[in-house]
Amino acid sequence: MASRVLLETDLKASADAIAAKLARIAAEAPQALGAELYREAQDVIANALPITPILTGALRRSGHADEPDATGSGVSVTLGFGGDAAPYAVYVHENLTARHAPPTQAKFLEDPLNAAMPGMADRIAAGAGTALGLR
């Protein structure tokens, strides 16, 4: 009978330790995921800049990746070109008939984003896992 009590105590201690670790991971996961998502967004912008058409430089300077935004349902990062600095960005991006000096092109954001998508979830998971001490 004594061994049964000891076994129950050991299991409870292990379960408590696991629950504490899971609680820590749950609390820190949004920040870790946001940091990795932001890193991916910065890479996409860095790859988009050299192919972004340039006339005045305003369009290239408008490229941005915003800091992560954590909500109750997840984490998001906004990236793009345009805004008040270059309100014409969408027209330049979508006009496939316009001529651009190489290496610049239309779809200067979409193409680097599409190129980054394969493996993105794995890279985010690996980076977040390392940050959370899981790897």
What is the percent of the chain where pLDDT is above 70? 91
Q: How many CA atoms within 13 Å lie on the side-chain side of 65?
A: 21
In which residue are the tokens 């793009």 written? 80
Mean pLDDT (the chain, rounded): 91
The whole-angstrom distance between residue 121's C-alpha and the CA centroid of its chain comes to: 9
For the CA atoms of 86, 92, 94, 97, the dihedral, rounded to the nearest 10 degrees, stands at 170
Q: Model confidence over 50-62: pLDDT tens digits?
A: 999 999 999 999 9
pTM: 0.85
pLDDT greater than 80 at residue 73: no
Percent of the chain that is helix, strand, coil (3-state, to 5): 60, 5, 30
Q: Would you state the pLDDT for residue 86? A: 93
Give the E-state strand segments of the chain in sequence order: 64-65, 69-71, 74-76, 79-80
pLDDT greater than 60 at residue 7: no
- At 69, list the tokens: 């935004």
pLDDT mean over 54-83: 94
